[in-house]
């Protein structure tokens, strides 16, 4: 299916929004503070904050540059706020009052009239009418003055990058890391937002792409700073529909409580207030746009918020840490408190889904025992050791052969992991009155790592087999973007055999692109992976994830109606071609002659195009009648077919019997498993290569480094797929017989019965088809 990476909006649809539209504000803050912003109407928004330290500050931000939306949906960049007036009604609960010393301040970042970077601090109270918690505020940018009191220093409104309003607790002490006496919760409601004067409107992308049949994945840890309305507007505009996977995250949704000197995930599994408000709004808007949300919760938790006993550990006591910066850790599936926290957290989202009128659909995302690159597995936290009998054998390296006792330990670990997911599944179903759909997400590059061949016992337990979950979801993006196609396909077969979910109960998650420098290459592979999943009859395919889609401008387009039938009938020309057949290979070369008489030749085609005249092969009136029928069935030149070239139809020489060593079709790199059949003509370093798109499959012989290979499939147009990727440097060779794809050269054939009876052969020209690979 077609896609492109959009860098900017050109001729696509656009409309206008009021500058300072509540959907496009964001929030930001340092850990462990938490805040969210939601648009509550066309001119209003709500900001919730949850703070723990005296020095924590939340910023409510307006950016002049829209760096978060997809380029087709972004608003235009105008840094000039001259003669613009922002008006709004301010109401606050709990946060420091407008008239306080550290009261809400508008910080403006930009440049002065001379182009020098400058920051101004505008005290909102100086432009308010009303009380310190309920006031009308008007901000005329060309007349704003920076400073605590007026008169202050005039700002320059002609070149502003961004601005933010600071929100803090009443006990705020700038720079202090001391804890507040107790957790602080506050709220600000901003309503009746209007923009007057110059630059009050912004052009914005208003694209509504056709529905293409794919789904989208979002994540709260990536989108917590934006409004749900903004995220869902983007999903709808880009053609995603039906349902979406929403990962609730591992670092922002949880309520924190002070446990000793640390702030840790509250043992009761509560959501913090900003996250609860955000998700309620997200589920409501999704429901209004006819999206069903699959809320995803995982065994991963931000390390700094995780109680020490909950963490998975390897044999020497080192805790599991992911590669994120700062890192997350993995919850032990057998720690009672950790699993209780996870279970209660999941049920909070069940309640929010139900309150929004959403069906309860929950994904258990990537539950596993952590491993590292050295082959160590993290099975040895105190709770796990106790569950394994107190003294489990130590697995030093999963890459090495394992004894029976260690294999048994992996099987036991898998059973315990499955027990924990079963208990979580049962709790979700019970909370929804048995109506929940529970899905399992597995990441095959980790759980089926070929370097650790026994790891699947622990991380893909047999107890997960259908009907443990309602649906199975798979993702393989490391292999997909890395080109490890043989591993991907082998994993599908392994998972099918082990877990037995029919294809109609499987989903596929494609993506993602961590580094934008890889966008061009990786998105092409991701898009091809989506198409491949469709060919495997995977009906629900999710693009992971929205931040990368927006950042790189990934734009998926639908097929136009049904997939068009290829204008080719895979049938053989019905008459044998003998020595009387005329065959003419043709190249195209441009030749220019210089003034001195020297020639400059430029080969325009990399491969020859062959012409045939098969008329001399017609021997009788019955064959002539059959030819006319064959011509009509092909609709003249419209539809191609196969022909066997009597002079060149083998990989071995021209007509000899094929062998497995005939043609070098590729060199292994340890990753690649797909190789196009080719035939080379001529010796030396640069032979002429002919793609073979119509091999005789029954004649195909394959070898890798001279050894016969039987485990392969041949796809359309001569694409050979090996089950095992050949090792680095290995020669992949093949032998085969082949046909040539051709079409009638003209839309009419002239046949005279009198001439035929007189022994004159008709002219039936054919021309080789260049098939697109």
DSSP states along 518-548: GHHHHHHHHHHHHHHHHHTT--EEEEE-HHH
pTM for the model stands at 0.85
Q: Is the pLDDT assigned to residue 428 strictly greater than 50?
A: yes
CA dist., res. 496 & res. 491, Å (int): 8
The residues, any chain, with a CB within 8 Å of residue 460's CB and separated by 6 or more, are 414, 442, 447, 448, 495, 498, 499
Q: What is the pLDDT of residue 687?
A: 86
Q: Across residues 495-522, what is the average pLDDT?
A: 96
Element (H, E) at 416: helix 404-431
Q: What is the DSSP string of 272-287?
A: PHHHHHHHHHHHHHHH
Name the packing angle between helices 273-288 and 336-355 (round to 10°): 40
CA dist., res. 30 & res. 50, Å (int): 11
> Which of the two residues, 72 and 687, has the higher pLDDT score?
72
* Span 357-369, pLDDT tens digits: 999 999 999 999 9
Check: CB of residue 739 under 8 Å from CB of residue 699: no
The residues, any chain, with a CB within 8 Å of residue 360's CB and separated by 6 or more, are 350, 353, 354, 428, 431, 432, 435, 436, 437
Q: Is the pLDDT assigned to residue 757 strictly greater than 80?
A: no
682: left (phi over 0), alpha (psi -120 to 50) or beta: left
The residues, any chain, with a CB within 8 Å of residue 208's CB and separated by 6 or more, are 13, 236, 237
312 half-sphere exposure, CB direction, 13 A CA radius:
27
Q: Across residues 294-310, what is the average pLDDT?
A: 98
Structure tokens, 206: 């208003």
Q: Is the pLDDT assigned to residue 603 strictly greater than 90?
A: no
Q: Is the pLDDT assigned to residue 489 strictly greater than 60?
A: yes
* Structure confidence at residue 577 as a pLDDT band (50, 70, 90): confident
Element (H, E) at 188: strand 179-197
Check: CB of residue 232 under 8 Å from CB of residue 291: yes
CA distances from 143 to 21, 85, 114, 480 (A): 22, 9, 18, 55
CA distances from 277 to 61, 362, 578, 759 (A): 19, 19, 79, 90
Structure tokens, 295: 């809320």
Q: What is the pLDDT of residue 565?
A: 47
Q: In the beta sheet, which residues pair with residue 104? A: none
- Angle of CA points 415, 339, 360, to nearest 5°: 95
Check: CB of residue 110 under 8 Å from CB of residue 159: yes
Q: What is the pLDDT of residue 563?
A: 44
Percent pLDDT > 90 in the chain is 82
Helix (H, G, I), strand (E, B) or coil at 603: strand
CA dist., res. 402 & res. 713, Å (int): 33
Q: Is the pLDDT assigned to residue 84 strictly greater than 80?
A: yes
Other Cβ atoms within 10 Å of 311 Cβ, number: 22
* Structure confidence at residue 755 as a pLDDT band (50, 70, 90): low
Q: Is the pLDDT assigned to residue 209 strictly greater than 60?
A: yes
Q: What is the pLDDT of residue 759?
A: 55
Among residues 270, 290, 396, which one has the least CA distance to residue 341?
A: 270
Q: Is the pLDDT assigned to residue 270 strictly greater than 60?
A: yes
Structure tokens, 577: 């071609």
Q: State the maximum Cα–Cα separation within the chain, in Å, rounded to a whole number.
A: 112
Q: Is the pLDDT assigned to residue 604 strictly greater than 60?
A: no
Q: Mean of the per-residue pLDDT values for the chain?
A: 93
Q: Is the pLDDT assigned to residue 71 strictly greater than 90?
A: yes
Whether the link from the prior residue into 158 is cis, omega within 30° of 0, is no
* Span 636-662, pLDDT tens digits: 999 999 999 988 999 999 999 999 999
CA dist., res. 457 & res. 363, Å (int): 21
- How remote is the C-alpha of 748 from its chain's centroid? 50
Q: Is the pLDDT assigned to residue 378 strictly greater than 70?
A: yes
Q: Is the pLDDT assigned to residue 685 strictly greater than 60?
A: yes
CA distances from 560 to 209, 239, 557, 563, 564 (A): 13, 14, 9, 7, 8
CA dist., res. 753 & res. 759, Å (int): 10
* Span 438-488, pLDDT tens digits: 999 999 999 999 999 999 999 999 999 999 999 999 999 999 999 898 899
* Structure confidence at residue 598 as a pLDDT band (50, 70, 90): low
* Structure confidence at residue 564 as a pLDDT band (50, 70, 90): very low
CA dist., res. 681 & res. 687, Å (int): 6
* Span 212-262, pLDDT tens digits: 999 999 999 999 999 999 999 999 999 999 999 999 999 999 999 999 889
* Span 91-126, pLDDT tens digits: 999 999 999 999 999 999 999 999 999 999 999 999
Q: Across residues 166-181, what is the average pLDDT?
A: 96
Structure tokens, 426: 């049962």
* Structure confidence at residue 592 as a pLDDT band (50, 70, 90): low
CA dist., res. 20 & res. 75, Å (int): 11
């Amino acid at each position: 299916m077609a896609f492109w990476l959009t860098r900017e909006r050109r001729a696509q649809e656009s409309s206008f929004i009021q500058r300072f539209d509540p959907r496009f504000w964001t929030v930001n803050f340092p850990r462990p503070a938490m805040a969210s912003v939601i648009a509550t109407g066309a001119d209003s928004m709500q900001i919730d904050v949850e703070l723990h330290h005296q020095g924590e500050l939340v910023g409510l931000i307006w950016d002049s540059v829209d760096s978060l939306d997809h380029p087709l949906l972004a608003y235009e960049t105008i840094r000039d706020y001259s003669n613009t007036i922002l008006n709004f009604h301010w109401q606050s609960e709990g946060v420091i009052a407008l008239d306080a010393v550290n009261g809400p301040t508008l910080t403006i970042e930009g440049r002065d009239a001379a182009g020098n970077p400058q920051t101004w601090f505008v005290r909102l109270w100086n432009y308010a009418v009303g009380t310190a918690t309920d006031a009308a505020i008007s901000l005329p940018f060309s007349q704003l003055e920076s400073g605590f009191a007026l008169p202050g220093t005039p700002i320059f409104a002609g070149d502003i990058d961004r601005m933010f309003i600071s929100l803090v607790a009443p006990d705020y002490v700038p720079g202090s890391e001391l804890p507040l006496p107790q957790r602080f919760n506050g709220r600000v409601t901003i309503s009746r937002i209007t923009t007057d004067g110059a630059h009050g409107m912004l052009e914005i992308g208003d694209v509504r792409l056709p529905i293409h049949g794919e789904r989208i994945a979002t994540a709260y840890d990536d989108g917590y700073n934006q409004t749900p309305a903004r995220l869902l507007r983007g999903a709808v505009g880009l053609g995603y529909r039906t349902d979406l996977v929403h990962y609730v995250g591992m670092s922002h949704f949880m309520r924190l409580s002070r446990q000793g000197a640390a702030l840790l995930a509250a043992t009761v599994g509560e959501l913090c207030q900003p996250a609860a408000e955000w998700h309620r709004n997200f589920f409501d808007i999704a429901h209004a746009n006819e999206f069903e949300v699959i809320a995803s919760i995982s065994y991963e938790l931000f390390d700094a918020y995780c109680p020490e006993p909950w963490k998975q550990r390897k044999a020497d006591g080192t805790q599991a840490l992911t590669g994120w910066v700062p890192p997350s850790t993995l919850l032990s599936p057998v720690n009672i408190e950790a699993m209780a926290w996870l279970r209660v957290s999941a049920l909070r989202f069940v309640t929010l889904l139900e309150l929004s009128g959403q069906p309860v659909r929950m994904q258990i995302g990537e539950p596993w025992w952590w491993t590292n690159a050295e082959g160590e597995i993290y099975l040895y936290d105190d709770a796990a050791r106790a569950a394994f009998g107190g003294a489990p054998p130590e697995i030093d390296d999963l890459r090495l052969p394992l004894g029976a006792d260690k294999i048994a330990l992996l099987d036991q670990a898998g059973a315990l992991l499955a027990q924990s997911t079963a208990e979580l599944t049962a709790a979700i179903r019970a909370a929804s009155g048995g109506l929940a759909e529970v899905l399992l997400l597995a990441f095959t590059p980790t759980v089926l790592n070929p370097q650790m061949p026994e790891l699947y016992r622990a991380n893909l337990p047999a107890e997960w087999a259908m009907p443990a979950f309602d649906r199975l979801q798979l993702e393989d993006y490391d292999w997909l973007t890395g080109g490890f196609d043989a591993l991907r396909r082998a994993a599908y077969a392994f998972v099918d055999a082990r877990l037995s979910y029919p294809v109609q109960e499987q989903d596929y998650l494609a993506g993602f692109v961590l580094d934008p420098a890889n966008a061009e290459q990786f998105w092409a592979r991701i898009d091809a992976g989506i198409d491949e999943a469709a060919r495997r009859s995977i009906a629900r395919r999710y693009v992971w994830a929205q931040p990368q889609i927006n950042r790189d401008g990934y734009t998926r387009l639908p097929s136009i109606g049904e997939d068009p039938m290829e204008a080719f009938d895979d049938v053989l020309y019905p008459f044998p071609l003998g020595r009387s057949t005329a065959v003419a290979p043709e190249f195209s070369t441009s030749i220019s002659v210089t003034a001195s008489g020297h020639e400059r030749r430029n080969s325009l085609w990399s491969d020859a195009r062959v012409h045939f005249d098969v008329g001399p092969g017609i021997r009788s009136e019955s064959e002539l009648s059959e030819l006319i029928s064959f011509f009509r069935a092909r609709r003249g030149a419209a539809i191609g077919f196969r022909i066997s070239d009597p002079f060149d139809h083998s990989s071995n020489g021209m007509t000899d019997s094929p062998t497995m060593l005939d043609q070098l079709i590729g060199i292994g790199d340890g990753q690649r498993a797909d190789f196009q059949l080719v035939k080379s003509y001529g010796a030396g370093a640069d032979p002429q290569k002919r793609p073979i798109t119509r091999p005789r499959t029954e004649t195909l012989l394959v070898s890798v480094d001279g050894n016969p290979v039987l485990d392969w499939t041949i796809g359309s147009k001569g694409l050979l797929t090996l089950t095992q990727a050949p090792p680095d440097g290995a020669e992949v060779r093949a032998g085969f017989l082949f046909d040539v794809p051709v079409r009638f050269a003209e839309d009419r054939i002239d046949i005279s019965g009198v001439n035929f009876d007189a022994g004159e052969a008709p002219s039936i020209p054919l021309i080789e088809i260049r098939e697109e690979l």
